[in-house]
Structure 1
């Protein structure tokens, strides 16, 4: 690799690492505060919070990598122009395309790192998060298995167990549910059991009754039952899912989807095809925006006022390309050939960058000097 390329790639990678660290820190802390509030309100320990926070890191890094690549490219280009280093390279005969070659190499390096995240690490982290939430729901259930005490699994819900025998059965159970406006339901049973269900823990009650009080009419109805199932999953956890979604499956598994995978995810072949192509195309966004940031700053000549207009123009182009990437899934996942739209955002970005490099290298007319 020529010395100029090594120098510029080293500059880009160093600043990319710094900006990525800052952006990940800001975004991660913002997400962690929300997560901390949710977990602490459920009575979880700091260890659980750290575990869930670490599982969100791959997705956070994936989101900020294109932005960090763009900012690094703009910063380095502005620095080299202000210090006249690029002017010297242009004087030696370097064209804008030649000067952008190390930026392309830098963008491809970021693309490879992002591809590993998008296709493997992020799906695994999301799958692990779902598994941890399922485990957490069972742990939350165990908190309420305390005999002789009134507990509150959820808002306007009161739970009481008189005794827990050696076999794990609950004796003389009382459950009051006041979540519905204008209605109060009271469940009593001689014995009950906690069991796992598809959507979370369930309470199976035996030999009991349900008393329903209408607060408006003050009328009460009583229903006796031999067995009754009460869903605790909606109370104890916000989201419990045992079936994987598309975002929780690695790309290698999605390349050859079978009928079992279609049934598990509830997705159509078109949705899976778009998801795979979206994961292939998304890493190229980092390459495109890095080239856009560098090429935009080459459009203007030297100015004592700086390159703020070019930087603003680069930011506008970044927003446009990112907008295309955001809008594309809405149509791409529903159309038979919609997977092509996954490549529109990165493709448009690369075309814009190439057009700006061409424009920056065009011959410029020289103004005649008056005698």
Structure 2
């Protein structure tokens, strides 16, 4: 690689790091606000919030990489053009293909970064995140021990504890159980305790009353009790127990028969094929994003009015290609044999970028096809 290529590549990588940092920070703040509110309201600590945030970063970075690659390419190309560096390179005999070489190398570097995330780091992070979410869902403390708030461990159950002492005693307890359609039961107690024994969780209520309303006869029966035990294992157990799904598996684990994977994951062959091939198609989109940004600005050339028109066109092309990627997912999920459709947007973007390079590399052809200026009559 020549010195000019290293210079352009270094500029691209520096701006790429800057844009990636800014975009990750912006998206992270938006996501962290919602995540922080949800976890803290469930009684989780700040360490759990930091853990969930760290496990969500690979997905966030994967989303940001193509945008950062495009933004860095557009910014560097515009600066090289404004400072006449591109003009000097072209005057020394550098063709558009030669100028695109460092941009292509930059796209390949971003492609390798995205591939590492897609094939290894992202599945591992999502798998660990699913396990931690399951653990928190199974934790009775996080589901029930929030004082002064009406909680809903399930759609038909409401729980309230007016006060929770330092030794774990629940005071002024209210529990409404409407899981049975034929009757509803309300328990109130002055004190209660949570007892956990392996997979069983029991709520021991002291000095309380049970009110049972029959929906068929519309009769209310009440009973006072000194102590009463209520099995709440079904309430604190995670209803959606973590199972092995395709997005939590590394790419080597997906390299087996779709029929066997469907049995293990419960997902269709189309979903498995879409997940597997998307991990190759999405990193390739990083190369396309960089090349589209460079070639579109190269066609525009220098203008005193700036390159906003070319930037808008390049961004529109990028949205078009990305929209096509999303459109191709549903057919593949319906039929696994249609997996080549996932690569069509990348192929189209690549052909479009090289077509624009070919167009820029032939100025005589451009002048020959330009409309001639008619001379004014004497």
Corresponding residue for residue 318 of structure 2: 318
Deviation track 1:48-72 (CA, whole Å, cap 9, x = no partner) reads: 1111111100000000000000000
Contact 1:233 / 1:240 at 8 angstroms: preserved in 2? no
What secondary structure is seen at the aligned counterpart in 1 of 2:300? coil
- Are 2:97 and 1:94 equivalent residues in the alignment? no
Equivalent in the alignment of 2:159: 158
Q: Is the 8 A contact 1:119 1:250 kept in 2?
A: yes
Structure 2 unaligned spans of 5+: 162-172, 205-209, 223-229
Show the counterpart of 1:14: 14
Instruction: Map Cα deviations across residues 39-91 of structure 1 (whole Å, 9 max, x no partner).
Output: 01101111111111111000000000000000000000000011111111111
Verify: 1:365 aligned to 2:363, yes or no. no
Partner of 2:57: 57
Relative to structure 1, is the Cα distance of residues 159 and 283 closer, same or farther in structure 2, using a 3 angstrom cutoff? same
Q: How does 1:170-249 map to 2 (within 5 A)?
A: 175-177=175-177, 184-186=184-186, 211-214=212-215, 218-220=218-220, 231-233=234-236, 240-249=240-249
* Equivalences for residues 293-304 of structure 1 within 5 A: 293-304=293-304
- Looking at structure 2, the residues matched to 75 and 6 of structure 1 have their Cα atoms a distance apart, in angstroms, of 17
Structure 1 residue aligned with 2:71: 71
SS in 1 for 2:304: coil
Return closer, same or farther for 1:217/1:36 CA change in 2, 3 Å cut-off: farther
Distance in 1 (alpha carbons) for counterparts of 2:198 and 2:358: 63
Residue 268 of structure 1, CA deviation: 2.5
Once the 2 structures are TM-superposed, how far is the Cα of residue 301 of structure 1 from its aligned partner?
A: 2.9
**1:352, CA displacement in angstroms?**
1.3
What is the deviation of 1:369? 12
Aligned with 1:43: secondary structure?
coil
Which has the higher mean CA deviation after the structures are superposed, 57-66 or 41-50?
Answer: 41-50
Task: Give me the whole-angstrom Cα distance separating, in 2, the residues matched to 1:331 and 1:13.
Answer: 36
Alpha-carbon deviation of 1:307? 1.1
Name the CA distance, whole Å, in 2 between partners of 1:179 and 1:338.
45
Maintained 8 Å contact 1:203/1:231: no
Please say if residues 274 and 336 of structure 2, whose CA atoms lie closer than 8 Å, have aligned partners that are also in contact: no
Task: Please give the residue correspondences for 1:272-287 in structure 2 after superposition, counting only pairs within 5 Å.
Answer: 272-287=272-287
Shift of the 45–90 alpha-carbon distance from structure 1 to 2, 3 Å rule, reads: same
Q: Give the superposition deviation at 1:7.
A: 0.8
Separation (CA, whole Å) in 1 of partners of 2:231 and 2:144:
19
Give the secondary-structure state (helix, strand or coil) at the position aligned to 2:310.
helix
- The corresponding residue for 2:37 is 37
Aligned residues of 1:123 and 1:247 also touching (Cα < 8 A): yes
Secondary structure of the 2:242 match is coil
Q: CA deviation at 1:337?
A: 1.7
Query: Is the contact made by 1:130 and 1:240 (CA closer than 8 Å) also made in structure 2?
Result: no
Deviation at 1:332, TM superposition (A): 1.2
1:326 Cα deviation (Å)? 1.5
Q: Any idea what SS the aligned residue of 2:212 has?
A: strand
- 1:104–1:252 Cα change, 3 Å: same
Q: Distance in 1 between matches of 2:287 and 2:258?
A: 33
Stretch of structure 1 that moved more, 178-187 or 242-251? 178-187
CA gap 1:291/1:183 in 2 versus in 1, 3 angstroms? farther
Extract unaligned runs of 5+ from structure 1: 161-172
When the two structures are superposed, what TM-score results if normalisation uses the length of structure 1? 0.80
| Alpha-carbon distance in structure 2 between the residues aligned to 1:255 and 1:204 | 47
Over aligned residues, Cα RMSD in angstroms?
Answer: 3.8
* 1:175 CA displacement: 3.9
Are 2:273 and 2:336, in contact at CA under 8 Å, matched by a contact in 1? no
Counterpart of 1:185 in 2: which secondary structure? strand
Partner of 1:135: 135
Q: Which structure 2 residues correspond to residues 244-255 of structure 1 after superposition, within 5 A?
A: 244-255=244-255
Cα distance between partner residues in 1 of 2:201 and 2:350? 53
Mapped to 1, the partners of 2:252 and 2:301 lie a distance apart of 47
**Number of the residue aligned with 1:163:** none
